[in-house]
């Protein structure tokens, strides 16, 4: 069970490959991070270990571990780890990465590579030496062309923060503002540089953030320039491809653009959250050179490279694009690049292999049994007995989501239902990862160990962190919140019923990136501001799910951080719901001007949030409230077929498959022990699994918003359904109630 599995990916051997893994531990299982040792066979490996979360008793809940195993080409590999006293200790690494202050910034040394991160402008690096030899390369920063102004990142003071300082990985965060030609500051940025022990490459990030007063800005170009001194034997190269990488070589100018037409003409079949293709440029002279690779360039098109005798221009938004990039107030966008410094004689095939490794890195997977035993989410998301056929449905729901490609769109999806309803006023409505897709994907990864589920969790959380999260707005009810599903992601409001924290917290624990924790906490603060309005504290004054989803978000923050303020506000919401049911003998809420109908899907969502609160604090009153809510729905909201309907008004009593009701009925069963709740839920389950699943295989098309779409239908089904189906099935399958929903010979492999 204590294994790390590296699946077969690359055909090349990888010597001392930098990898990371986040290990969860049960309460009391890991008292000290130094107890954790990873073995390759019988040999302990050098480690860098960082606790990211703790249980109430002080023991480690999440441990982020960096290490550098040898990985074989064309084969998988399994390592083992021990968290108890194994009699062994991690040896010191052969080479270490170090970060040292100097007069004008920080000096980073990886062994072969030495460079400076200056404090007076984000270049991003300067004074680069490889194996003790200065390289003839100089960067001129990330420059944005906004109208007739060029905004530069390399000429304003910075704040440098060392997030990790080795010995295997160093991470430096950079914050500052771009500067106008007149010397004034305009457009925030957040940078990040990651260096690895023994490696001649670094990862560089740049995130622009629109915190200015104009509601819309239009960026005509975003580019990073690397200039090189003229020398002898200059060689240029470009690499691009989604099967084999096509490499173009020459001594004169080379250029290549990825745009919408590129994507429409390429018959790619990869799951794009994991991989699409490769895109890099290389400049090399007699003293050495560097290759730049743009991470997920196709997914975040348009992108371009221009390579000439004087260096490389990485066009993160090319100036020749068909339309400027629209950036609404509060939006941001992160670009990530690999900068691979190398000797003059380094083969292009090696440069291409390293770039592909950047695009599709090795990630070790834990077995589901480890998550079951060391469950950091507490709720039983890892049941032992599930129909194999249910895994198929999960896969289809997960993979069938429509895809949106484009710089401001990747990681999100269009929703045809919302669009057809006219919510975008003629424009495509993006779902904004409604119902917490990052969280559902992270949980599915833990259950199934399937890599693409992890990649989906990371990609959709990254989109939240950049685009859907409102980084700034003068209205405090918008500032620091997640935007509701809307046209162009950030055109809509922030609603207390459409904010989630658990997926962002998962992203933090899985990656160690502090901005995800900061963002989750900012969303919590935004919810508190919404909750402070008198209307939100009156029974029957709004929809049931508004405070219901707020309860889920705040309880998630408390379970992850232990901060008492989140528990206190969660308790206030619970007390409101107790009063609400007492006053109306049901969870009634306003709808039309003359009605307060029961809305089963909102009520069951809220019942499930009450169940999450019971993980925070056991309260017999809350248990009874949950049961009473479900009894009331069973008495009043079932159609003649015994299936829940949509809403209580006669005009809305259409049959509705409610996955959230399955989970709520499972919670009622847990509280009472009465199997009738599971039996009724099983009936609902049968209607759900009879419904078709959207497929992603429709024709690709270009949207006026600038995106390229593939697939159609509802974009939120997986996030909406996953945890509810799972919690119900975990209870029902153990009782034999789902034996009918199974493949023949399910136990035969």
Query: If you count them, how many residues does the chain have?
Result: 749
Query: Residues 592, 611: contact at Cβ < 8 Å?
Result: no
Residue 251 belongs to some domain of the structure: yes
Q: How many CB atoms lie within 10 A of CB 114?
A: 17
The residue from 691, 715, 733 where one domain ends is 691
Torsion sign over Cα 180, 183, 186, 187? positive
Q: How confident is the model at residue 696 (pLDDT cuts 50, 70, 90)?
A: low
Tens of pLDDT, residue by residue over 193-231, are 999 999 999 999 999 999 999 999 999 999 999 999 877
Residues 204 and 327 occupy one common structural domain: yes
- The label of the residue with tokens 């007390």 reads 575
Q: What is this structure's pTM?
A: 0.97
Residues 110 and 74 occupy one common structural domain: no
pLDDT at residue number 711: 87
Residues 78 and 105 occupy one common structural domain: no
CA separation for the pair 238, 536 (Å, rounded): 57
Residues 46 and 105 occupy one common structural domain: no
Phi/psi class of residue 489: alpha, beta or left (left: φ > 0; alpha: ψ in -120 to 50)? left
CA-nearest of 509, 393, 411, 379 to 448 is: 393
How many folded domains does the chain comprise? Answer: 3
Give the C-alpha distances (Å, rounded to integers) separating 86 from 33, 38, 77, 155, 374.
Answer: 13, 10, 21, 52, 19
- Two structure tokens written together for 302: 């348009």
Residues 169 and 36 occupy one common structural domain: no
What is the span of the domain harbouring residue 652?
A: 539-691
Average pLDDT over residues 671-693: 95
pLDDT at residue number 697: 62
CA separation for the pair 294, 315 (Å, rounded): 9
What's the helix, strand, coil split of the chain in %, to 5?
A: 30, 30, 40
Query: Residues 703, 414: contact at Cβ < 8 Å?
Result: yes
pLDDT at residue number 657: 84
Residues 10 and 142 occupy one common structural domain: no
- The label of the residue with tokens 């119900």 reads 728
Residues 254 and 279 occupy one common structural domain: yes
Residues 52 and 144 occupy one common structural domain: no
Tens of pLDDT, residue by residue over 157-191, are 999 999 999 999 999 999 999 999 999 999 999 99
> What 3-state DSSP class applies to 424?
coil
Residue 141 belongs to some domain of the structure: yes
CA-nearest of 26, 724, 52, 687 to 440 is: 724
Tens of pLDDT, residue by residue over 277-329, are 999 999 999 999 999 999 999 999 999 999 999 999 999 999 987 789 999 99
């Amino acid at each position: 069970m204590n294994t790390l599995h590296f699946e077969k990916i690359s055909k090349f051997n990888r010597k001392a490959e930098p990898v990371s893994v986040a290990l969860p531990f049960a309460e009391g299982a890991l008292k000290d991070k130094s107890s954790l040792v990873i073995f390759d066979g019988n040999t302990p490996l050098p480690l860098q270990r960082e606790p990211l979360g703790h249980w109430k008793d002080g023991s480690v809940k999440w441990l982020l571990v960096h290490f550098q195993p040898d990985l074989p080409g064309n084969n998988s590999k399994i390592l083992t780890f021990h968290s108890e006293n194994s009699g062994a200790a991690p040896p010191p690494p052969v080479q270490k990465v170090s970060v040292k202050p100097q007069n004008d910034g920080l000096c980073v040394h990886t062994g072969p590579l030495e460079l400076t991160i200056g404090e007076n402008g984000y270049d991003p690096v300067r004074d680069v030496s490889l194996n003790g030899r200065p390289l003839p390369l100089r960067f001129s920063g990330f420059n944005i062309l906004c109208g007739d102004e060029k905004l530069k990142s390399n000429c304003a003071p910075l704040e440098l923060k060392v997030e990790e300082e080795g010995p295997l990985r160093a991470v430096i965060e950079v914050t500052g503002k771009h500067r106008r030609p007149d010397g004034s500051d305009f457009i925030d940025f957040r940078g990040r540089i990651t260096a690895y022990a023994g490696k001649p490459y670094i990862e560089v990030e740049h995130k622009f953030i629109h915190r200015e007063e104009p509601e819309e800005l239009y960026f005509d170009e975003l580019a990073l320039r690397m200039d090189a001194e003229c020398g002898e034997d200059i060689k240029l190269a470009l690499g691009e491809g989604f099967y084999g990488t096509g490499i173009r070589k020459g001594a004169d100018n080379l250029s290549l653009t990825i745009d919408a037409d590129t994507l429409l003409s390429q018959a790619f079949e990869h799951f794009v959250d994991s991989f699409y293709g490769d895109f890099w440029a290389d400049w090399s002279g007699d003293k050495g050179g560097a290759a730049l690779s743009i991470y997920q360039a196709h997914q975040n098109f348009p992108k371009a490279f221009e390579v000439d005798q004087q260096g490389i221009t990485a066009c993160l938004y090319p100036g020749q694009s068909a339309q400027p990039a629209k950036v609404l107030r509060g939006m941001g966008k992160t670009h990530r690049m690999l900068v691979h410094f190398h000797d003059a004689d380094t083969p292009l095939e090696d440069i291409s292999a390293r770039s592909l490794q950047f695009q599709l890195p090795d990630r070790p997977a834990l077995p589901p049994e480890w998550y079951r035993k060391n469950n950091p989410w507490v709720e039983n998301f890892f049941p032992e007995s599930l129909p194999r056929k249910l895994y198929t449905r999960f896969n289809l729901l997960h993979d069938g989501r429509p895809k949106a490609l484009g710089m401001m769109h990747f990681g999100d999806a269009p929703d045809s239902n919302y669009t057809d309803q006219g919510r975008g006023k003629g424009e495509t409505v993006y779902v904004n990862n409604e119902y917490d897709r990052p969280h559902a994907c992270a949980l599915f990864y833990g259950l199934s160990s399937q890599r693409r589920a992890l990649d989906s969790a990371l990609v959709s959380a990254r989109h939240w962190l950049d685009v859907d999260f409102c980084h700034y707005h003068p209205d405090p009810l918008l500032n620091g919140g997640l935007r509701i599903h809307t046209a162009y992601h950030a055109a809509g409001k922030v609603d207390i019923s459409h904010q989630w924290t658990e997926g962002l917290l998962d992203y933090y624990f899985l990656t160690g990136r502090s901005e995800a924790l900061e963002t989750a906490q900012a969303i919590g603060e935004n919810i508190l501001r919404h909750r402070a309005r008198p209307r939100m504290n009156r029974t029957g004054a709004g929809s049931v799910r508004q405070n219901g989803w707020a309860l889920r978000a705040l309880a998630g923050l408390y379970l992850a951080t232990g901060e008492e303020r989140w528990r206190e506000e969660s308790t206030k919401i619970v007390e409101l719901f107790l009063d609400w049911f007492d006053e109306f003998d049901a969870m009634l809420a306003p709808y039309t001007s003359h009605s307060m109908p029961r809305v089963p899907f909102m009520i069951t969502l809220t019942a499930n949030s009450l169940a999450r609160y019971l993980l925070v604090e056991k309260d017999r009153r809350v248990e009874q409230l949950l049961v009473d809510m479900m009894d009331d729905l069973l008495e009043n909201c079932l159609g003649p077929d015994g299936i829940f309907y949509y809403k209580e008004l006669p005009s809305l009593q259409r049959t509705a498959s409610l996955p959230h009701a399955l989970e709520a009925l499972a919670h009622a069963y847990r509280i009472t022990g009465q199997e009738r709740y599971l039996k009724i839920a099983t009936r609902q389950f049968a209607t759900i699994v009879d419904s078709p699943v959207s497929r992603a295989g429709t024709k690709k098309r270009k949207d006026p918003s600038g995106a390229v779409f593939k697939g159609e239908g509802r974009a939120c089904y997986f996030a909406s359904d996953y945890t509810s189906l799972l919690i119900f099935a975990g209870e029902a399958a153990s009782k034999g109630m789902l034996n009918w929903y199974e493949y023949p010979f399910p136990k035969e492999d």
